[in-house]
């Protein structure tokens, strides 16, 4: 059977199943799912009572008999059963009640993923009725989605900073010349903010408050304007809630160590490049993708530290998914990039 957008019974999908967020694209329809990678589970029955945005609304406010969990961690499966059920719900939403199913799915994975982790992801997707699964490295998908010429001889560099992983990849001739994957990302910044405020202000804040402070006050470089925001939480030293003001300087101080780790990894990749490839990167610069690409000053900080031109992709959070769905229109490239993973 030929699979195409005109087939009324099947639909090709691309899935960016991230630690923090899941994007699903349908061939011919574009992005059809944009949901947090979260599930709310009844502790007694094990049933999923909410997924995605509904589960996020329950984070930090769920009843005692409901646990809100991330089925993915560091870009790989943390709980296979929950991940499978969550993805199943998202795919049903992606189909929008249409009388069709997905026989082919392209799914992104971190560079350097082990064969065991690859097998786990394949089993997860096969378990929801998908017969053909293509795994593509995040860095290459992000580069393609950001508009980089991945199938040319001239090398391109992309840094994809997501919720659970940071993928640094240099790509030429549809292959990854050099790469590095750090299992750190936006969630680690949230944790660092939570720890900082607990230590400095003696207040326990929730994950959603930490993320809000990161987006409102966070900066990769020293903030020029030390603006402030209110944080509400539970007092460490006394019973009951407490409110404090947190400054942009404090949030920068909290997350700076993580930013330094990312930049050091970028430097190490650059140092390992052959001279010709390094010259290409020096000429073409770096494209920044992923949710943390939107952190204030992230592009300028990397540029200052590496002396390379750094630009942010047009839709940085969706670059991986856009790159994956584009591969359906490039069957030879899809075959090549999956073969390069040993699949």
More confident residue, 10 or 215: 215
**Interatomic CA distance for residues 35 and 191, integer angstroms:** 21
CATH class of 13-140+320-340: alpha beta
E-assigned strands of 60-155?
66-69, 72-73, 76-77, 104-109, 132-137
More confident residue, 76 or 161: 161
pLDDT of residue 42: 92
- Asked if 148-184+256-315 and 186-254 have one fold, the answer is no
Q: 133 and 122 in contact (C-beta within 8 Å)?
A: yes
Q: Is it the case that residue 148 has pLDDT exceeding 80? A: yes
More confident residue, 186 or 226: 186
The percentage of the chain sitting over the pLDDT mark of 90, rounded to a whole number, equals 74
Instruction: Report the 10 Å Cβ neighbour count for 47.
Output: 10
pLDDT of residue 239: 81
Q: Is pTM beyond 0.85 here? A: yes
What is the CATH number that goes with domain 186-254? Answer: 3.90.640.10
Q: Is it the case that residue 150 has pLDDT exceeding 50? A: yes
Q: Is it the case that residue 48 has pLDDT exceeding 60? A: yes
Give 98's pLDDT tier (boundaries 50, 70, 90).
low
Q: Is it the case that residue 99 has pLDDT exceeding 90? A: no
pLDDT of residue 8: 45
Q: Is it the case that residue 281 has pLDDT exceeding 50? A: yes
pLDDT of residue 213: 97
Give 100's pLDDT tier (boundaries 50, 70, 90).
low
Q: Is it the case that residue 228 has pLDDT exceeding 80? A: yes
Which residues are CB-neighbours of 219 under 8 A, at least 6 positions away? 248, 251, 252, 295, 296, 297
**Interatomic CA distance for residues 297 and 150, integer angstroms:** 27
**Interatomic CA distance for residues 204 and 238, integer angstroms:** 11
Write down the domain spans for the chain.
Answer: 13-140+320-340, 148-184+256-315, 186-254
Average pLDDT, the chain: 90
Dump pLDDT digits (tens) for 54-70: 999 998 887 889 999 99
User: Which of 127-131, 196-200, 238-242: highest mean pLDDT?
Assistant: 196-200
More confident residue, 130 or 49: 49
Angle between helix axes 248-271 and 186-201 (nearest 10 degrees) is: 140
Q: Is it the case that residue 205 has pLDDT exceeding 70? A: yes
Q: Token match 């923090």: residue?
A: 20
CATH class of 148-184+256-315: alpha beta
pLDDT of residue 6: 40
pLDDT of residue 3: 37
pLDDT of residue 309: 97
pLDDT of residue 218: 96
Dump pLDDT digits (tens) for 10-36: 689 999 999 999 999 999 999 999 999
By C-alpha distance, which of 302, 287, 278 is closest to 141?
287
Give 1's pLDDT tier (boundaries 50, 70, 90).
very low
């Amino acid at each position: 059977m030929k699979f195409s957008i005109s087939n009324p019974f099947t639909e090709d999908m691309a899935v960016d199943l991230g630690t923090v967020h899941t994007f699903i694209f349908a061939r011919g329809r574009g992005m059809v799912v944009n949901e947090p990678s979260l599930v709310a589970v009844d502790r007694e029955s094990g049933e999923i009572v909410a997924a995605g945005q509904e589960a996020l609304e329950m984070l930090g406010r769920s009843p005692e008999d409901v646990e809100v969990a991330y089925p993915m961690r560091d870009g790989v499966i943390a709980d296979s059963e929950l991940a499978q059920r969550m993805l199943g719900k998202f795919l049903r939403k992606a189909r929008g009640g249409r009388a069709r199913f997905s026989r082919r799915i392209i799914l992104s994975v971190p560079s350097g993923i082990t064969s065991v982790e690859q097998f786990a992801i394949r089993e997860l997707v096969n378990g929801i009725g998908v017969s053909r699964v293509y795994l593509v490295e995040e860095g290459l998908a992000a580069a393609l989605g950001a508009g980089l010429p991945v199938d040319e001889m001239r090398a391109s560099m992309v840094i994809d900073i997501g919720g659970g992983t940071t993928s640094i990849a240099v790509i030429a001739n549809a292959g990854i010349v050099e790469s590095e994957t750090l299992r750190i990302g936006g969630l680690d910044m949230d944790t660092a903010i939570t720890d900082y405020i607990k230590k400095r202000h003696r207040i326990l804040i929730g994950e959603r408050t930490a993320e809000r402070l990161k987006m409102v006050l966070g900066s990769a470089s020293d903030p020029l304007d030390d603006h402030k925001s209110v944080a509400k939480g539970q007092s460490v030293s006394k019973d009951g809630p407490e409110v404090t003001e947190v400054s942009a300087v404090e949030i920068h101080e909290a997350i700076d160590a993580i930013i330094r780790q990312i930049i050091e990894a970028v430097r190490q990749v650059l140092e390992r490049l052959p001279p010709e490839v390094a010259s290409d990167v020096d000429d073409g610069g770096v494209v920044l993708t992923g949710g943390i690409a939107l952190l204030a000053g992230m592009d300028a900080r990397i540029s200052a530290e590496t002396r390379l031109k750094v630009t942010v992709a047009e839709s940085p959070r969706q670059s991986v998914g856009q790159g994956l769905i584009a591969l359906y229109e490039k069957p030879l490239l899809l075959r090549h990039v999956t073969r390069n993973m040993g699949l």
